[in-house]
Amino acid sequence: MANWYMLTLVGQDQQGIVAQITQTLFENGYDLGEASMMRLGGNFTVMLMISHPENKNGDDAIAIIKDKMGLCVHSVEVSGGLHQHVEPNVRVTVLGTDRAGIVAEVTGVLAEQGVNIVDLESDVGGTAQAPIYIMHIEGVATNSTDDLVDKLAPLNRDGIEIQVMDIETLVG
Amino acid sequence: MASLEILSYPDERLRQKSLEVEHFDQTLWDFIADLEDTLGVGPGAVGIAAPQVGHFQRICIVDVSGRKKTKNHGHLVLINPEITEWDGFKLGREGCLSVPDYTGNVVRAEKITLEAFDPEGNELNFEMSGYEARAVQHELDHLDGLLFLDRVVSRRNDIFDRKVYKPKPKK
Ligand SMILES: [Zn+2]
């Protein structure tokens, strides 16, 4: 089995962009692994795990559509692979007015508390005059949720609300 | 007694609809013993349904009593179970013994009324809510050839039930 590459593509969002990228990769002999596509600030962004029997990194395929679609491309060989999911057991939601440094403050507390972040997503809604900041974090915590709540409590100020919830995955 | 092999998606047999149990006899009890063993082997599962081991009868086991602060009716062996009432909706994360290495958010009824038989053929009747009700709905889906995969609404960005932790008042 060839190694996995993490292919990152950023560009102007446009109709059919995902289809073009994945079709081109497929036609050039690439396997796709896990992928995450998001629109960030009006830009198209995607991170794709790809592998090729000849251990190619995706540049050859993307070169075909890169200029036409105005894509920035980055590809790097990664050591991970598929089937390495970890189940998050805690979810932290940060809501409120945008405050400089809030991401660093919250994630700093989480790191201190030994929480391994597996998913972080933040967005800005509202209006330009009154932006609303929304962040969702899911992670694997080893300490109790109560401890985490206590440690995050001081950040609950100046219009920021932080909520902590357990995630319990039911397996049946 | 023996633990049985668990079928994994995309095995088509998981899509098969199971038939009602008609005889409450030794054959049934022997199978239940094997199903119990199989559930015991799985890591942290709170339930299992007969079709997950390729046995297409309406039998399942649910036991959420090991979970902290959870209303429950103990260890339940349910034969020919049927949900007769549903109330409310709640989002929660689920995985499945038959779908390794994947989880997702699923909407389930918050409260259910459940009718079933025990292994001796006695009628059972439960009012259930929350986690236990979710587990029962997950297992009953298996009896109809459905998987949680059919009901995943999203893997992220969902509004979870607001079981929010409040900081403790300062002493
Ligand atoms: Zn299942």
Q: What is the 3-state secondary structure (H, E, C) of B100-143?
A: EEEEEEEEEEEEEEEEEECCCCCEEEEEEEHHHHHHHHHHHHHH
Number of structural domains (chain B) is: 1
Residue of B nearest to A136 (CA): B157
Residue in A87, A152, A153 nearest the CB of B103: A87
From CA A47, how far away is CA A78, in angstroms rounded? 12
A85/B101 CB distance under 8 A: yes
From CA B8, how far away is CA B98, in angstroms rounded? 4
- Residue B49: inside a domain, yes or no? yes
Could you tell me the residue range of the domain that residue B80 belongs to? 12-161
Number of structural domains (chain A) is: 2
- Residue B6: inside a domain, yes or no? no
- Higher pLDDT pick, A14 / B57: B57
Q: Is the whole-model pTM more than 0.95?
A: no
| pLDDT tens by residue, A19-62 | 999 999 999 999 999 999 999 999 999 999 999 999 999 999 99
Q: What is residue A153's three-state secondary structure?
A: helix
| A95-119 average pLDDT score | 92
| B9-20 average pLDDT score | 97
| pLDDT tens by residue, A81-99 | 899 889 999 999 999 987 7
Residue in B93, B157, B168 nearest the CB of A169: B93
- Residue B168: inside a domain, yes or no? no
| pLDDT tens by residue, B30-73 | 999 999 999 998 778 999 999 999 999 999 999 999 988 899 99
- Are the beta carbons of A49 and A59 closer than 8 angstroms? no
φ, ψ at A47 (rounded to 5°): -120, 125
Distance of CA B92 to the CA centre of its chain: 13
Residues A70 and A121 in one domain: no
Residue B156 has pLDDT above 60, yes or no: no
d(CA A169, ligand 1 centre) in Å? 12
Residues A99 and A139 in one domain: yes
CB pairs under 8 A between A and B: 76
From CA A31, how far away is CA B34, in angstroms rounded? 40
Contacts with B96 from chain A: Cβ below 8 Å: 171-172
State the pLDDT confidence band at B166, using cuts at 50, 70 and 90. low
Residue finishing a domain among A15, A50, A78: A78
B93/A136 CB distance under 8 A: no
Query: Is A171 near chain B, with CB under 8 Å?
Result: yes
Query: Is B146 near chain A, with CB under 8 Å?
Result: no
Question: What average pLDDT does the structure give for chain B?
Answer: 91
- Residue A128: inside a domain, yes or no? yes
pLDDT of residue A9: 97
- Residue B7: inside a domain, yes or no? no
- Residue B166: inside a domain, yes or no? no
Q: How far is A155 from chain B (nearest CA, A)?
A: 11
Residue in B156, B160, B162 nearest the CB of A121: B156
- Residue A131: inside a domain, yes or no? yes
Residues A19 and A46 in one domain: yes
d(CA B12, ligand 1 centre) in Å? 14
From CA A1, how far away is CA A4, in angstroms rounded? 9
From CA A119, how far away is CA A105, in angstroms rounded? 17
- Residue B31: inside a domain, yes or no? yes
Looking at residue A145, which CATH number applies to its domain? 3.30.70.260
Q: How far is B141 from chain A (nearest CA, A)?
A: 11
pLDDT of residue A158: 83
Distance of CA A10 to the CA centre of its chain: 14
Beta bridge partners of B106: B92, B152
Residues A94 and A72 in one domain: no
Residues A95 and A71 in one domain: no
- Residue B22: inside a domain, yes or no? yes
Contacts with A172 from chain B: Cβ below 8 Å: 45-49, 62, 94, 96-97, 135, 138-139
| B7-23 average pLDDT score | 97
Looking at residue B105, which CATH number applies to its domain? 3.90.45.10
Report DSSP state, residue A79: S
| B135-161 average pLDDT score | 85
- Residue A65: inside a domain, yes or no? yes
B156/A138 CB distance under 8 A: yes
- Residue A40: inside a domain, yes or no? yes
Contacts with B93 from chain A: Cβ below 8 Å: 167-170
- Residue A172: inside a domain, yes or no? no
Q: Other C-beta atoms within 10 Å of A168: how many?
A: 16
Contacts with A150 from chain B: Cβ below 8 Å: 167-168
- Residue A18: inside a domain, yes or no? yes
B139 is catalytic: yes
State the pLDDT confidence band at A144, using cuts at 50, 70 and 90. confident
- Residue A85: inside a domain, yes or no? no
For tokens 């005059």, the residue is: A129
State the pLDDT confidence band at B1, using cuts at 50, 70 and 90. low
ipTM (interface predicted TM): 0.89
d(CA A137, ligand 1 centre) in Å? 26
Q: What is residue B148's three-state secondary structure?
A: helix
- Residue A150: inside a domain, yes or no? yes
- Residue B167: inside a domain, yes or no? no
Query: Is B58 near chain A, with CB under 8 Å?
Result: no
Could you tell me the residue range of the domain that residue A57 belongs to? 4-78
Query: Is B157 near chain A, with CB under 8 Å?
Result: yes
| B146-160 average pLDDT score | 77
